[in-house]
A and B are shown apart, each in its own frame.
Chain A
Amino acid sequence: MSVNQQTHTGPPYGQPQPGYQGYQQPAYGGQPLPGVPHSQYGVYNGPMPGYQQPVPPQGSVRAPSTSGTSLSSGHLGYSPFGQGDVQNGIPASTAPMQRPPASQPFLPGSAPVPVSQTSMLQQYGPPPASVQQLSNHMAGMTIGSTSTSAPPPAGLGYGAPRPPTMPGPPLPVQTAAGPPTSQPNHVSSPPPPPSTLSGPYPGPPMSGLRGPPPPTHPPQPGYQMQQNGSFEQVRGPQTNYGGAYPGTPNYGSQPGPPPPPKRLDPDSIPSPQLNELPPQQKPRHRIDPDAIPSPIQVIEDDRSNRGSEPFVTGVRGQVPPLVTTNFLVKDQGNASPRYIRCTSYNIPCTSDMAKQSQVPLAAVIKPLATLPPDETLPYLVDHGESGPVRCNRCKAYMCPFMQFIEGGRRFQCCFCSCVTEVPPHYFQHLDHTGKRVDFYDRPELSLGSYEFLATVDYCKNNKFPSPPAFIFMIDVSYNAVKSGLVRLICEELKSLLDYLPREGNMEESAIRVGFVTYNKVLHFYNVKSSLAQPQMMVVSDVADMFVPLLDGFLVNVNESRTVIISLLDQIPEMFADTRETETVFGPVIQAGLEALKAAECAGKLFIFHTSLPIAEAPGKLKNRDDKKLINTDKEKTLFQPQTSFYNNLAKDCVAQGCCVDLFLFPNQYLDVATLGIVTYQTGGSIYKYAYFQLETDQDRFLNDLRRDVQKEVGFDAVMRVRTSTGIRATDFFGAFFMSNTTDVEMAGLDCDKTITVEFKHDDKLSEDSGALLQCALLYTSCAGQRRLRIHNLSLNCCTQLADLYRNCETDTLINYLAKYAYRGVLNSPVKTVRDALINQCAQILACYRKNCASPSSAGQLILPECMKLLPVYLNCVLKSDVLQPGLEVTTDDRAYIRQLVTSMDVAETNVFFYPRLLPVTKADVDSDSLPAAIRNSEERLSKGDIYLLENGLNIFVWVGVNVQQGLIQNLFGVSSFSQISSTLNTLPVLENPFSKKVRSIIDMLQVQRSRYMKLIIVKQEDKLEMLFKQFLVEDKSLTGGASYVDFLCHMHKEIRQLLS
């Protein structure tokens, strides 16, 4: 694939211009041509129809568009051979079904095509055939998959690797499901690896539905061809490769047509021809999107397969259901996946294996995760004055994996094998199986997650902590006052203060509150209950911050209620006439820190801030925003803080347990990268409301504020992850501070914060004992109780790479990769980071291909079942604003997102990178379920429908131009499309089933997310649609992000290069 080459050389996607011209491969080119994509499509497909058609049977779709060129292109994408790839492209179709499976091979039948001079054919006429074949395959596959419930077809893939790997999906299923015709073809065709389902095809649900198409699609020959191809590949993979190269030259550099000839590949022959024909070929590479692995399908399958049964954690190394699946967890000795998810539940025994596979071993830990109401919270265990029972050597806490020996007098540590005496008060006899008799009475022996009550030894200064405090620090500069923000906050606080977090059984919250306002100076308030009126204390010595009062600053809400209310009433009045526009920021945090220090407690600062702090004070910043730095080596500076002041401050904050939550209301650049440092390192949250306007943003802000204030949070936390000998936690990602290499310190840790931990081998693991993780979190509860929360997880170990690949979780992997990349941009040029990401994934997949997939044509793209979504998700990561900023994205946005993602859990990263797109017009107004999601591509949108798209930060309501007036009336309360106001930020409350349904869906989505999402109404063909389109992540983005199809081609090429 020339394409591939191109990608390699330069910015894969972007550059291709030349390629295009020459070849005009849509695949690549598509991306590059920012503006025009549409037209291209149009042109090629003959398009519209082409697309539409596809809806039904892929085959049909293909047929049209392809006819000729398109096909070839598609093939080219995947297969080595220039044209053959096209086929590959097809294969790319997702393999929806195979959860189980081992690997899905995308196999591009590419190879085949070429073999038989397909290229020629394709170009001229025949090509279609091949295409069709592919499509058929796809269809077949998909069908099979769809029909099958769970595991299905994984194997179906063409080249589906080795049968053995395919666990679940019995062949039969496929056959059953799949339209007979097509499948048979497949099956038969791929004689070699019959068992396997070709991952590729299964893909798109669409296809599944269409299942039927096969028949219609004619070109059986095509099938054969493919099959042939695949076979051929199998047979003579080498040739295939060769072919590939040749192809490339064509694309990449027309002139330099490489050495195609060298190998005998059939392709070589065609290639020249290609050259001749370039212009016409434009349309050529068109891989049916439905033919490539579909996230939606995977999600749906998992949901239907695993959503019904509770997930019981008793078994070692079990892969949990996807984060998108609703399931119940029963803790029987391992921590719930809500607390810990791993990239793989089967760890290579040796570091060599790990290195070879390149699969990162990481756990995404959310120690204080909120559980659904029907799951029980971790039990609190009190081991008395001597504290929790621990291993003498490694200090691991008592857990279900500890082995009691010598009649229960001692226990052997499951992490370090050291034998420790059981303290007398903890002694218990063992039963005949060697289990302690009290096994089921003690959570720490029978459960994966539980809490210990910490003794005074676990407290700072050997003193039990005081209850934490919340300090509200409100910017009262001109901007904040004028926008009505100050008044809004004060009003909200009046009621919000009644909802401070409290321990389950307590009547009122133990948390004390304090208030500060500031502009260039700070105002502290004495709200002691004995006062008739609050007192304001102004500290203007911002260079050397201190707290002017102690008694009366932090108070109990109920005791000081009247004074607080009076204060909140007066703050907006007092500053109503302010003309002060400058603000400070560093001193504000210092003030909060000092206040907590003085009160000797941990706590949280809620800072409401509006502008770049340019007033003379420590931590003063200057505007250094410079978009010209993008795509230069200096781009990383945009993510780095401009002064080390805040790093040092953060360190102090962490030492005191002072967590900082930041609410930003910028009207211009305010350097989130710098301001956010303290928040970031103290485990706090940042919320940003650019161009805050009362009418449009207050709901969102207030909801966020409420949630932020009320959510469960631990303070002054230290987390340590212990592991079995053999692996070691080596790297940590998230919002925290580390003063050494093992302890993750967080001034505050709330229920949404997640820490991703990477493990590396430092020795061998054994298959027998597996690998254990114990995450211990020492923290102070909101009532001021010192506790240890323990999560244990046991993983399997493997000596076969296949086991690793079979037990991976792509969502977690993406979580890790995204965080890794987002941290990388601090130190390396963004391009380097992107390349590294692509490279790592290519290696992962190549390793699979090489070691696990059944031998098949190199032209086939074969993906492990568990990772078949890796390319699409990875592409989303690559296209995210941090790694490839969109046009409208500000530097602050990028810094903001970078920090957000760093502490996201798997579910959040999942939806953030691959937004959920729901066709609401198809929703069943009578049921409370969500409509089935569809893939994020413009071609999936129908002009006559309304869609919701959510990514955890925003919800878009997309309205097609042809939506029935009735629906519009029902939803927006206006009579026509043109009257819909795109400035709406909520849907009007209308009494009709449709409106109710849509609003309830939105509410449901809002509840699921840790932040209140901004609602944006997008009318088709309106200017806002540009923004919306950026979230259609399977499409090319305006700023050069590759479409899914293109990226898949690119990955394939990368993989092939690695394999060769």
Chain B
Amino acid sequence: MATYLEFIQQNEERDGVRFSWNVWPSSRLEATRMVVPLACLLTPLKERPDLPPVQYEPVLCSRPTCKAVLNPLCQVDYRAKLWACNFCFQRNQFPPAYAGISEVNQPAELMPQFSTIEYIVQRGPQTPLIFLYVVDTCLEEEDLQALKESLQMSLSLLPADALVGLITFGRMVQVHELSCEGISKSYVFRGTKDLTAKQIQDMLGLSRPAVPVQQGRPLQTQEQPAISSRFLQPVHKIDMNLTDLLGELQRDPWPVTQGKRPLRSTGVALSIAVGLLEGTFPNTGARIMLFTGGPPTQGPGMVVGDELKTPIRSWHDIEKDNARFMKKATKHYETLANRTAANGHCIDIYACALDQTGLLEMKCCANLTGGHMVMGDSFNTSLFKQTFQRVFNKGFNGDFRMAFGASLEVKTSRELKIAGAIGPCVSLNAKGPCVSENELGIGGTSQWKICSLDPSTTLAIYFEVVNQHNAPIPQGGRGAVQFVTQYQHSSTQKRIRVTTIARNWADAQSQLQHIEAAFDQEAAAVLMARLGVYRAESEEGPDVLRWLDRQLIRLCQKFGQYNKDDPNSFRLSESFSLYPQFMFHLRRSPFLQVFNNSPDESSYYRHHFARQDLTQSLIMIQPILYAYSFHGPPEPVLLDSSSILPDRILLMDTFFQIVIYLGETIAQWQKAGYQDMPEYENFKHLLQAPLDDAQEILQTRFPMPRYIHTEHGGSQARFLLSKVNPSQTHNNLYAWGQESGAPILTDDVSLQVFMDHLKKLAVSSAS
């Protein structure tokens, strides 16, 4: 099935789409029996250096309920200058500009290689990007200094015409006015009082006096920038000023008595930031960037009291319903997030602290608006500094790798309906004929808003086959899906990217092997994982695991080859062979297991899992392990305890962490200093090799992973040991003394045991 692999890869390259099934079961009934739903991972802004945008408006289907974009799948009558919509079959006249169209003179959107095409359109005034820094000042001196430097540095990375603003908070919230000379001026709000957007605008003096719009003079457009200019200024105008201002930022001056946490008004600060932009720049690209060094401790959105003796909520507290602030805080941030999303702005959260900072409560701010979430120990770490710097990375053509205010619309052919989406988006509540009643993820709509996205942002979109069993699709029929993403490019242009794909229908009864062969187990694993994680947000952990297990068993029952009640006879075809292993690791992953993770960490992991593309997601599910040794070139090895050998250096990439682990012998050698001896230069190289590889990953990944360099017996080795398959544990002591790896002290089942159980259950006739 190499062809399918190629096909899948090709499709991904071109369209940024990976479907769980690349041949679609043609009836609803069969589709449900496939266990894994028909779904796809869509990377709407996948970087396509080879795709020059076209500078005109897309041609739309004239049926008001359809409005699909002209695409290569459409039938075109060149003579009549007509085209037929492949979704609704409406026949449409080409617009006048297309008068010269012919078989040899096709517009790009009709060419098959342009199944994905990007339009640059002129719509409305272009407003510069906005970056609003919301900075916590309840930090240690060192941290604050580092943060200030990062922020100052970031000014040079911003687009020159971008507007910047600064809000700082501690016990109070200060909105800094940037336009004034001399005295630096700020508006101060008390951190305990939530204000409505209207109040905030009134207090900031942003509410425009009701100017009677007489004779439609375009006064307003002139006034708008003037009014808000006090708080948001073009970088090039005030970078000196703002640099100084940041330089003078002091730690929150209110005394913190012993045994207390500093009072931190994160909730109000965010609320004000949202309110500020809401009033002045609705529906323009704007990032609210929250930098916080601890949990909100007062006012709306407080997560923990200021008494240090009461620790911040843990999963245990949450299970026991003992987290008294959680619900209220979550509600506060959700409200904010929804408002922000409605305005098309996004919120980034950069939380750096050793303890939790309330990401659990605040996660929706980033999740719903497509903002970044970064978690670190301190602002004075390269993890934060580089990650933050990478926010302003530029793409291949010099554009910032960020886009704003996107709306994704999905159109399907009649046999399909849209069940929902999972990703950093909110529903636009666009009901339509192609919206399914069964929801998976964020459903009930065919359009979603993604306030901020980058080229790797990936959404999972779930479909439902609605074709009835008794209405077979003619042989060779294809189903089509069109993704229309309108967004504001970082250059502030409005762009529309259209991807139209089609897949063959197949009758599951007669052509199961086709369908089976076209199964994309990687995509399926990620799609199922997203569903699982999505469920985990609202359901109890064990329920989700059970659901996953059931799905896995059903899948094995459906596609495995076995004799009833004979586990040993169980086999899976190649296209499914890895899937159980993915599920095994997924079950152990921090996305579904909260043990050993704080609520914040879980939120953090889940946040990233719900937006990364397939490759990264897979790494998250099943970390990659490389081995370096004198026995040969670096090679990927099994994520298994048996891979931990004394004479090996291991490099593990879990997406969130890069772990370099020196085997026992290697570690001793290193301690003995062999690498410094000229005659052992090869050892030095061996030591260096994983470092270089790690560097490469560190350079490119966002957010930058935690880099861990450890050795056999080191405390940090736990990062590795907790990930590998515990094939050897203290429970199966037979492994002791063997040279085949390290035992893991755990009661977790190993992959072997898991598979044995799976087989047994799959072949059992009882179920």
- Is the pairing of A and B real? yes
Chain A residues with a Cβ under 8 A of chain B: 521, 523-525, 531-541, 544, 546, 548-552, 567, 570, 573-574
Given contacts A525-B183, A537-B188, 19 further A-B contacts (CB under 8 A): A532-B248, A533-B183, A535-B183, A536-B183, A537-B174, A538-B185, A538-B187, A539-B188, A540-B203, A540-B204, A541-B189, A541-B195, A544-B190, A548-B174, A548-B188, A551-B253, A552-B253, A570-B183, A574-B182
Q: How far is the CA of A540 from the CA of B231 in the complex (A)?
A: 15
Neighbouring A residues of B255 by C-beta, 8 Å: 550
Most chain-B CB neighbours within 10 Å: which of A536, A570, A574? A536
Set A531, A544, A573: member contacting B193, Cβ < 8 A: A544
Neighbouring A residues of B186 by C-beta, 8 Å: 535-538
A-contacting residues, B175-197, CB 8 Å? 177, 180, 182-190, 193, 195
Complex A-B, nearest 8 residue pairs according to Cβ-Cβ distance, in ascending order:
A548-B188, A540-B203, A551-B253, A536-B185, A538-B187, A546-B190, A537-B188, A535-B184
Set A538, A544, A574: member contacting B188, Cβ < 8 A: A538
Name A580's closest neighbour in chain B (CB-CB).
B205
Name B248's closest neighbour in chain A (CB-CB).
A531
Q: How far is the CA of A549 from the CA of B202 in the complex (A)?
A: 22
A sample of 13 inter-chain contacts (CB < 8 A) reads: A534-B183, A535-B185, A539-B188, A540-B203, A541-B193, A541-B199, A546-B190, A549-B172, A549-B253, A551-B253, A567-B183, A573-B182, A574-B183
Neighbouring B residues of A574 by C-beta, 8 Å: 180, 182-183
Neighbouring B residues of A524 by C-beta, 8 Å: 188
Most chain-A CB neighbours within 10 Å: which of B188, B199, B202? B188
B680 is an interface residue with CB less than 8 A from chain A: no
Q: How far is the CA of A124 from the CA of B188 in the complex (A)?
A: 86
Q: How far is the CA of A537 from the CA of B250 in the complex (A)?
A: 14
B56 is an interface residue with CB less than 8 A from chain A: no
Set B184, B205, B248, B254: member contacting A550, Cβ < 8 A: B254
Set A523, A535, A540, A548: member contacting B172, Cβ < 8 A: A548
Q: How far is the CA of A79 from the CA of B16 in the complex (A)?
A: 118
Min CB distance B70 to A, Å, is 53
Q: How far is the CA of A533 from the CA of B244 in the complex (A)?
A: 11
Q: How far is the CA of A548 from the CA of B254 in the complex (A)?
A: 10
Q: Do most interface residues of chain B lie in helix, strand or loop, or is the interface mixed? A: mixed
Contact A533 B253 (CB under 8 A): no
Most chain-A CB neighbours within 10 Å: which of B177, B183, B185, B248? B183
Q: How far is the CA of A39 from the CA of B203 in the complex (A)?
A: 64
Neighbouring A residues of B248 by C-beta, 8 Å: 531-532, 535
Name B203's closest neighbour in chain A (CB-CB).
A540
Contact with A along B190-222 (1 / 0, CB 8 A): 100101000100111100000000000000000
Min CB distance B637 to A, Å, is 57
- Given the known inter-chain contacts A531-B248, A550-B253, please indicate yes or no for A536 contacting B190, CB distance below 8 A: no
Set A537, A538, A550, A570: member contacting B182, Cβ < 8 A: A570
Min CB distance A534 to B, Å, is 5
Q: How far is the CA of A1046 from the CA of B8 in the complex (A)?
A: 117
Q: How far is the CA of A536 from the CA of B253 in the complex (A)?
A: 15
Neighbouring A residues of B199 by C-beta, 8 Å: 541
Set A521, A533, A546: member contacting B184, Cβ < 8 A: A533
Neighbouring A residues of B183 by C-beta, 8 Å: 525, 533-536, 567, 570, 574
Neighbouring A residues of B253 by C-beta, 8 Å: 549-552
Neighbouring B residues of A573 by C-beta, 8 Å: 182
Most chain-B CB neighbours within 10 Å: which of A523, A548, A550, A567? A548
Q: How far is the CA of A573 from the CA of B182 in the complex (A)?
A: 10
Min CB distance B182 to A, Å, is 5
- Given the known inter-chain contacts A533-B183, A549-B172, please indicate yes or no for A540 contacting B190, CB distance below 8 A: no
A-contacting residues, B460-508, CB 8 Å? none
Q: How far is the CA of A573 from the CA of B183 in the complex (A)?
A: 11
Min CB distance B493 to A, Å, is 37
Neighbouring A residues of B189 by C-beta, 8 Å: 539, 541
Q: How far is the CA of A534 from the CA of B180 in the complex (A)?
A: 13
Neighbouring A residues of B182 by C-beta, 8 Å: 533, 570, 573-574
Neighbouring A residues of B202 by C-beta, 8 Å: 540
Contact B184 A536 (CB under 8 A): yes
Contact B203 A541 (CB under 8 A): yes
Q: How far is the CA of A242 from the CA of B185 in the complex (A)?
A: 83
Contact A537 B254 (CB under 8 A): no
Name B191's closest neighbour in chain A (CB-CB).
A546
Name B182's closest neighbour in chain A (CB-CB).
A570
A-contacting residues, B634-689, CB 8 Å? none
Contact A540 B184 (CB under 8 A): no
Q: How far is the CA of A541 from the CA of B187 in the complex (A)?
A: 10
Neighbouring A residues of B250 by C-beta, 8 Å: 551
Contact B187 A540 (CB under 8 A): yes
Q: How far is the CA of A238 from the CA of B183 in the complex (A)?
A: 85
Q: How far is the CA of A544 from the CA of B199 in the complex (A)?
A: 12
Q: How far is the CA of A541 from the CA of B195 in the complex (A)?
A: 10
Name A520's closest neighbour in chain B (CB-CB).
B205
Q: How far is the CA of A549 from the CA of B185 in the complex (A)?
A: 13
Min CB distance A573 to B, Å, is 8
Neighbouring B residues of A552 by C-beta, 8 Å: 253
Neighbouring A residues of B203 by C-beta, 8 Å: 521, 540-541
Q: How far is the CA of A540 from the CA of B189 in the complex (A)?
A: 8
Neighbouring A residues of B193 by C-beta, 8 Å: 541, 544
Q: How far is the CA of A538 from the CA of B255 in the complex (A)?
A: 21
Name A537's closest neighbour in chain B (CB-CB).
B188
Min CB distance B668 to A, Å, is 53
- Given the known inter-chain contacts A550-B253, A552-B253, please indicate yes or no for A539 contacting B187, CB distance below 8 A: yes
Min CB distance B468 to A, Å, is 62
A-contacting residues, B350-367, CB 8 Å? none
Neighbouring B residues of A539 by C-beta, 8 Å: 187-189
Q: How far is the CA of A552 from the CA of B250 in the complex (A)?
A: 11
Min CB distance B187 to A, Å, is 4
Q: How far is the CA of A523 from the CA of B189 in the complex (A)?
A: 12
Most chain-B CB neighbours within 10 Å: which of A523, A531, A535, A552? A535
Min CB distance B68 to A, Å, is 50
Min CB distance A263 to B, Å, is 81
Q: How far is the CA of A534 from the CA of B177 in the complex (A)?
A: 14
Min CB distance A658 to B, Å, is 19
Q: How far is the CA of A524 from the CA of B183 in the complex (A)?
A: 12
Neighbouring A residues of B180 by C-beta, 8 Å: 574
Q: How far is the CA of A79 from the CA of B380 in the complex (A)?
A: 99
Q: How far is the CA of A541 from the CA of B202 in the complex (A)?
A: 9
Neighbouring B residues of A536 by C-beta, 8 Å: 183-186
Q: How far is the CA of A532 from the CA of B244 in the complex (A)?
A: 11
Neighbouring A residues of B204 by C-beta, 8 Å: 540
Neighbouring B residues of A550 by C-beta, 8 Å: 253-255
Neighbouring A residues of B205 by C-beta, 8 Å: 540
Q: How far is the CA of A523 from the CA of B186 in the complex (A)?
A: 9
Neighbouring A residues of B190 by C-beta, 8 Å: 541, 544, 546
Neighbouring B residues of A551 by C-beta, 8 Å: 250, 253-254
Neighbouring A residues of B188 by C-beta, 8 Å: 524, 537-539, 548-549
A-contacting residues, B213-263, CB 8 Å? 248, 250, 253-255
Min CB distance A646 to B, Å, is 22
Most chain-B CB neighbours within 10 Å: which of A523, A531, A546, A573? A546
Name A574's closest neighbour in chain B (CB-CB).
B183
Name A548's closest neighbour in chain B (CB-CB).
B188
Min CB distance A616 to B, Å, is 9
Min CB distance A541 to B, Å, is 6
Neighbouring B residues of A531 by C-beta, 8 Å: 248
Q: How far is the CA of A535 from the CA of B202 in the complex (A)?
A: 22
Q: How far is the CA of A605 from the CA of B579 in the complex (A)?
A: 75
Q: How far is the CA of A474 from the CA of B189 in the complex (A)?
A: 21
Min CB distance A639 to B, Å, is 35
Neighbouring B residues of A521 by C-beta, 8 Å: 203
Neighbouring A residues of B187 by C-beta, 8 Å: 537-540
Name A544's closest neighbour in chain B (CB-CB).
B193
Min CB distance B135 to A, Å, is 15
Q: How far is the CA of A521 from the CA of B186 in the complex (A)?
A: 12
Min CB distance B170 to A, Å, is 10
